[in-house]
Structure 1
Amino acid sequence: MFWNTRFVRIGVGLALLATVVIVLLPGFTGYTSLDGTVNARFALVSAPIEGVVSDTPPKVGTALPEGTSVFFINNDRISRTAEAQLDADLGAAKERLQALEIQAKDLSALKADLVTRLKEYQQASIVGVQQEIIIRQQRISTAQANKASAEADLARKQTLGATGVVAGSSVEQARAASVAATSEQNIAKAELERLQRQLDALKRGTFVGEGRNDVPYSQQRTDEVTIQLANVEAQIRTEKARIQQLNGQLHLERARNDRLSFAAVQVPFKGVIWRNNVVAGSNVVVGNELMRLLDCRDLFVDILVDEVDYDEIKPGDRADVRLLGTSDVIGGHVLSVRGSAAAVEEVVLAALPPKSRGKNARIRVALDPSDMQIDYANFCQVGRTVQVRFARSSSLQTLADPVVNWAKSLWFSIS
């Protein structure tokens, strides 16, 4: 029979051998996972303030560029009591400052008038003393002449008295007149010296005289006005500092109220809307989730492999990823390798990772840049099943590792 011929038996044997090789060869040359899932993270967009949403956001699946404003939240119930109080305090402080500046201006004018009057009085006093000095100088000259005349008359009468021509009483009168003339000259010199000292004091601003203080009334009033002016200027500086402080506080309070009364929620990165939770007119509070934005910039794949191959796959290893139903292959590299008991729940993942059916290691593979990252209409293929393959080294020792590992594990289990 034909089916019992030698060539048919040889052909069937070769076919069976080829089938075995085809089935076993992928396991010797690499690792393959058939239950991978394309995954990505999404960002939670929350309400920064409480209020009412003014516009309905774009629909789910809409691609938005970075910086797009998708929500406008208005809050008309914010309390502005503190801002109004600060504004009133600032207005009152400005009015006080204006009044103090007017008072300082008036005091400065009064001080200038008093200084002018004092200078006029000082100049008049100096002129009066200078005139008295001139008179005293003339009196000194007269006293000198009288003294010389009295001394000459005394000498003549003393001579005549010695001869008996003039009586002794006349000599005594002449002597008294000479003494009186000398005393009058000394008094005149003393008066001149006093007036000279008074003139020097007047030039220095000190008024010295009988029945007068060291300074006139205008000088005293000038001192009082100077003290008042210094106090007013100190109040002006204090009021200016308070106004500056109130301005800063009012600016901060107004900026805070502006932030709490209106907010424009913007997209932090280019992505696609995954879920919307509000519409126009919705009331929200701080922290309310408004929408979820899918981040397609970093796509990755979560897969499961037998945990016996845990040590054979390391972070950084290259991998080939093929979407189920297509022939296109996308490159990638291993991000992390985790054991079967590792806790891998992540609340920000857009797709569910594959569920372990036994002792499976969890591998996360980052995908190289591709058209999937801009396929916003299909949510960047998130959730799609893929096949992932890791290549082994081509050496014979590496190809025999699966058999050796199987034999070691079998011996360990029965020993």
Structure 2
Amino acid sequence: MTPEPLTLASERHWTWQPKAAGALRRKRLYRRLLSNTLRDLPVINSWNVLMRLVRAIVGLALLAVGLYIIIGEHFAGTSADATLNARLYIVRAPIEGKVTLAVQSIGARISPGALIAELTDQRFDTARLLELDRDRTNQQIELDRLDGQREALSASRSRFDVQSTDYQRGRVRQIEARIAETKAAQDAAATRLRQADAEFRRANELSTRGVQTAAHLDRARATYDVAQQELESAQQRVKYLETELTSARDGIFIGESCNDAPSSAQRIRELEQRLAELNVDKEQVKARIVQLDRQIAAERLRVNNLSFATLNASVIGLVWDILVDDGQYARRGQDLVKIVDCSTLIVTAGVSESLYDRLSVGTAVQFRLFRDDRIFNGTITRLGGSGAASLYTNLVVGPSAQHLQRFDVTVTVPDLAGEADVGCAIGRTGRVIFTAGPIAQFRRFITRYGL
């Protein structure tokens, strides 16, 4: 006989049931067993379960954000290195000479027009200038000599002028006296002519009557003719003297014992000719002096330029390096001071080839200095390619060996000039952002909303 399934009547009592009620009894048994088992299990703390669930969710979220940032920054376009750079302005010695430095410390800021150094060459050859000065002195002596001669000749001419004037006046008075004398003789000749004419008429009348002889008539006729000629001679003499008087008043003396001018007048003419020659010589000497003055001025300027030089800054910047000592003798063309031109501030960056191939001149980028939260907008101005060492010849900071293995990119950042702390912070490093990553987007979000 087969035994019936065991049924739990109580916790420790087992009984046998008939076979007909097997299914119902088994079902009830399972329910009781399950209920008793659940009552015997410990109670689970619902708060601990909730905290474990929250921690799991937060961990998964942080893991997702971290993976997003790492992967996003990896695929974002940023430079491997970026350095603030600027053009290097080298002050060179234009002449040879002793250097007197006005800037004494590296890093000193300078403004345009500020004195940097002075050079003085006391050994410069001034023989040419001395020769020109000597020639100028000789020409001045010659000019003074000519002036002395002119003054002496002018004084002599003045004396001869007085003498000539006195002679002319005396000569005029003499001629006037001769004219008066000749006119008196003319009057006397006219009187004798009238007398001879009367005697000739009486003799002719008496001869007609036969009272006088023909010889007496001939003598009377001859006396009349002589008296007539004497009157004519006196008249011509008056005309001659009047002509001589007119010429004498004009300064021309005519006569049997005179030339056209007296010796004083002739001497005056000689002196005037000599004075004219001296004037020509004086003008020539003056012209030579003017020419020498121009040559001396040019030579003195050349000597000053080659024996003394003042070096002033033409840019705004700071002293990067001093290559000579104060008081040292410098050669022409020697480098003296290196100055950073802060107005040419740029950013030199190195990028990978894959990123370089996606860039172009004029593309807008962003620049951020390390340990600085500010982000500055910039523009690509030059793509230098790989091995761009020659591009750094006139820049302050040269490329590193690692930089030369990358591709060179030059970026201008105009906003840096307006920041006092970084306006000329040559050598500071940062990063150029060509394609914004998650961190850059998060920074822009914070900046935009002022968080």
Q: Does the alignment reach a TM-score above 0.5?
A: yes
Q: What is the match of residue 440 of structure 2?
A: none
Distance 1:311 1:141 in 2: 136
1:221–1:374 distance in 2 versus 1, CA, 3 Å: farther
Deviation at 1:98, TM superposition (A): 1.4
Q: What is the match of residue 39 of structure 1?
A: 85
Q: What is the match of residue 115 of structure 1?
A: 161
RMSD between aligned alpha carbons?
Answer: 3.2
Q: What is the match of residue 279 of structure 2?
A: 233
For the Cα contact (< 8 Å) 2:392–2:399, is it kept in 1?
Answer: no
Distance 1:372 1:233 in 2: 74
Indicate the structure (1 or 2) with the bigger Cα radius of gyration.
2
Deviation at 1:14, TM superposition (A): 8.0
Distance 2:215 2:310 in 1: 126
Matched, 1:365 2:412: yes
Matched, 1:383 2:430: no
Alignment counterpart, residue 331 of structure 2, candidates 281, 285, 301? 285
**Amino acid paired to 1:388:** V
Deviation at 1:31, TM superposition (A): 3.9
Greater relative CO, 1 or 2 (CA 8 Å, sep 6+) = 1
For the Cα contact (< 8 Å) 2:343–2:417, is it kept in 1?
Answer: no
Matched, 1:346 2:358: no
Deviation per CA, 1:36-70, whole angstroms, max 9, x where unpaired? 22111111011122122245841222223333333
Deviation at 1:293, TM superposition (A): 0.7
Alignment of 1:156-175 (within 5 A): 156-175=202-221
Alignment of 1:72-87 (within 5 A): 72-87=118-133
For the Cα contact (< 8 Å) 1:36–1:301, is it kept in 2?
Answer: yes
For the Cα contact (< 8 Å) 2:95–2:306, is it kept in 1?
Answer: yes
Matched, 1:196 2:271: no
1:269–1:341 distance in 2 versus 1, CA, 3 Å: closer
Distance 1:110 1:9 in 2: 132
Deviation per CA, 1:171-221, whole angstroms, max 9, x where unpaired? 111111111111111111111111121112212221111132122111111
**Amino acid paired to 2:392:** E
How high is the TM-score relative to the length of structure 2? 0.75
Show structure 1 runs of 5+ residues with no match: 393-415
**Amino acid paired to 1:176:** A
Distance 1:204 1:242 in 2: 42
1:151–1:371 distance in 2 versus 1, CA, 3 Å: closer
**Amino acid paired to 2:250:** R
1:25–1:54 distance in 2 versus 1, CA, 3 Å: closer
Q: What is the match of residue 31 of structure 2?
A: none
1:326–1:374 distance in 2 versus 1, CA, 3 Å: closer
For the Cα contact (< 8 Å) 1:71–1:264, is it kept in 2?
Answer: yes
For the Cα contact (< 8 Å) 1:41–1:349, is it kept in 2?
Answer: yes
**Amino acid paired to 1:365:** T
1:363–1:77 distance in 2 versus 1, CA, 3 Å: closer
SS in 1 for 2:79: strand
How high is the TM-score relative to the length of structure 1? 0.81
Q: What is the match of residue 372 of structure 2?
A: 326
For the Cα contact (< 8 Å) 2:82–2:348, is it kept in 1?
Answer: yes
Q: What is the match of residue 40 of structure 2?
A: none
Show structure 2 runs of 5+ residues with no match: 1-48, 437-451
Tell me the number of residue pairs that the alignment of Structure 1 and Structure 2 aligns.
384
Distance 2:408 2:351 in 1: 5
For the Cα contact (< 8 Å) 2:94–2:309, is it kept in 1?
Answer: yes
Distance 1:353 1:373 in 2: 26
Q: What is the match of residue 152 of structure 2?
A: 106
For the Cα contact (< 8 Å) 1:154–1:175, is it kept in 2?
Answer: yes
Deviation per CA, 1:83-139, whole angstroms, max 9, x where unpaired? 222222222222221121111011011111111111111111111111111111122
Matched, 1:91 2:171: no
SS in 1 for 2:78: strand
Q: What is the match of residue 221 of structure 1?
A: 267
**Amino acid paired to 1:61:** G
Deviates more, 1:206-215 or 1:14-23: 14-23
For the Cα contact (< 8 Å) 2:392–2:398, is it kept in 1?
Answer: no
Distance 2:342 2:328 in 1: 28
Distance 1:374 1:175 in 2: 142
**Amino acid paired to 2:179:** I
1:10–1:53 distance in 2 versus 1, CA, 3 Å: closer
Distance 1:334 1:373 in 2: 23
Tell me the percent identity: 28
